[in-house]
Structure 1
């Protein structure tokens, strides 16, 4: 249905508005936004600002009052809603698995509706369960009640990916999980997105989550007015106004550390001799994680490890990296 040559498609919102009868002000007021193909855009803002309503209008779970929605070259408002939803993945906090269906049947719901053969559905179920870190032989015959919350959330992501949709909408998908499970799910989802490059709109009220996951962030205020729409680093280093600055909070520098990996900031290789006895962090870890390791071990150095390669990272390297990032952050809209 949608052109899907590189993993995702562009989404365009133009003057998108939702008015409910009897309400003086719109729930969503003339939102215009471009989501580049293959990027994950996070809608973040306080409860009641309209972020979920905006997202649900994209797959027409809520019908817009006025405005335009385009996915690729398609005018969404001219499509049959059922056809649209079969080509847009949707993941919610409550997961929404069918309790009377097995995990395999849950994942295969949309492919079955699309008329896929049984063999093709079975292959896709096994592929996707493996992709989200669940062993198909162990999980495909289980029922949702037999899974933990984190495992159910993984199945929800697998189900949303089943028909290989170019677009995914995710509404607080990890919000109901405990902090450790949530971090693990976020990391796994980032791994998936690096591989699949879907076009994703992700709703959260958690700015830390927005920074970690988003290629771009739309900071929303009441009525889904966009206070700022930009790369995470740009929002952290140059908030558009006091509202955005207040949303970021006082720990902007620490938040920026979560955007830079140890590999990106490391110095020249020191080898095993130069790093002997130092606490270790993965080269793919963030500078925030490296700083946490330094504090925990009472040292100003760690060993960055990537396979058999080891490099030394110092506290001064972290300071230099964050200062360089502040100077070199790409311009707004880049």
Structure 2
């Protein structure tokens, strides 16, 4: 079995195919893809394109018809499926918490199966609850029904991390939550991944979520054929074809703003006593633009100075005068 690590390992898919009996075409057709260690790669595409089937073949919830899967250089198809799954974190949209087990028991499920001693499991539960911003003393003895949907999703992520797997598979884990909760979970997960650097495959149909979370995005056609596989910035700047461009839509500039942080743009002057709206250094430029528009201002105060609308536009390679359509669409 591949070793656990605090960070991820490389995943290689080689000519991976899944053909269900009685179906005229493969659900997944000859997919070859390299996923670098420690990166979050998003599979995005329309319903039925094969993205979830491709992901499930990695932990063999779906058995491949042909092809190879290597994790950390090891052939997954040569391993015992149950043992394999205990070394891969898995989080899904429905969360899948056991209703008659406490939160601590749910999180400790895989470590218990792996034979960890009780004190080690207990310490790991407290560590993970703190990591996902749930106070251990308040939540470890509760039951899933006593938590909100967003809290249950956090527990689902904690359970996927419980045995410190190098690889995590996530199938639309935030899809069932309301928009505000979903954005909050996405923000927290971005911070979490920066700390942990697991290798994560994340399935979604939401291109904006893919841009926000992914180090790389695989835009998939039917049969999991790869239309484009690149960084979010590269896909936004140069979509491979009309199919990929259709996912981006008409607001590519706004999406590029979401990729950059306020701290990456030069601020001028002193914000002290300016009375300008405030924005944090780790906020995106899209959030900074939203704040400017909400306050009817063309600048805002950051921890390092004053960020202007002109500087924001320059950061994404445009001139302020060219962005009137962007501002109008935001309003």
Instruction: Specify if TM > 0.5.
Output: yes
Question: Is 1:7 aligned with 2:41?
Answer: no
Selected match of 1:303 from 301, 304, 317: 301
The answer on whether the counterparts of 2:88 and 2:167 sit within 8 Å (CA) in structure 1 is yes
Q: Residue 169 of structure 1 aligns to a residue in which SS?
A: strand
Trace 1:200-219 onto structure 2 (pairs within 5 A): 200-219=200-219
Distance 1:15 1:272 in 2: 56
Q: TM-score, normalised by structure 1?
A: 0.94
1:318 positional shift: 0.8
The answer on whether the counterparts of 1:216 and 1:230 sit within 8 Å (CA) in structure 2 is yes
Distance 1:79 1:178 in 2: 39
Distance 2:227 2:130 in 1: 39
Structure-1 residue corresponding to 2:84: 84
Q: CA RMSD in A?
A: 1.0
Distance 1:6 1:108, change over 3 A: closer
Distance 1:113 1:4, change over 3 A: closer
1:266 positional shift: 2.5
Q: Residue 323 of structure 1 aligns to a residue in which SS?
A: coil
The answer on whether the counterparts of 1:6 and 1:38 sit within 8 Å (CA) in structure 2 is no
Structure-2 residue corresponding to 1:60: 60
Structure-2 residue corresponding to 1:176: 176
The answer on whether the counterparts of 2:266 and 2:311 sit within 8 Å (CA) in structure 1 is yes
1:4 positional shift: 4.5
Unaligned runs of 5+ in 2: 319-331
Distance 1:49 1:105, change over 3 A: same
1:247 positional shift: 1.2
1:6 positional shift: 5.8
Which runs of 4 or more aligned residues in structure 1 lie more than 2 Å from their structure 2 counterparts after TM superposition?
3-6
Structure-1 residue corresponding to 2:323: none
Distance 1:272 1:75 in 2: 56
Structure-1 residue corresponding to 2:102: 102
Deviations 1:211-249 (A, max 9, x none): 000000000010000000000000000000010001111
Selected match of 1:287 from 273, 282, 285: 285
Deviations 1:50-95 (A, max 9, x none): 0000000000000000000000021000000001000000000000
Q: Residue 90 of structure 1 aligns to a residue in which SS?
A: strand
Structure-2 residue corresponding to 1:34: 34
Deviations 1:1-34 (A, max 9, x none): 3245560000000000000001000000000000
Structure-2 residue corresponding to 1:22: 22
Distance 2:43 2:219 in 1: 6
Alignment: residue pair count: 318
Distance 2:124 2:168 in 1: 18
The answer on whether the counterparts of 1:282 and 1:304 sit within 8 Å (CA) in structure 2 is yes
Trace 1:229-308 onto structure 2 (pairs within 5 A): 229-268=229-268, 270-273=269-272, 276-305=274-303
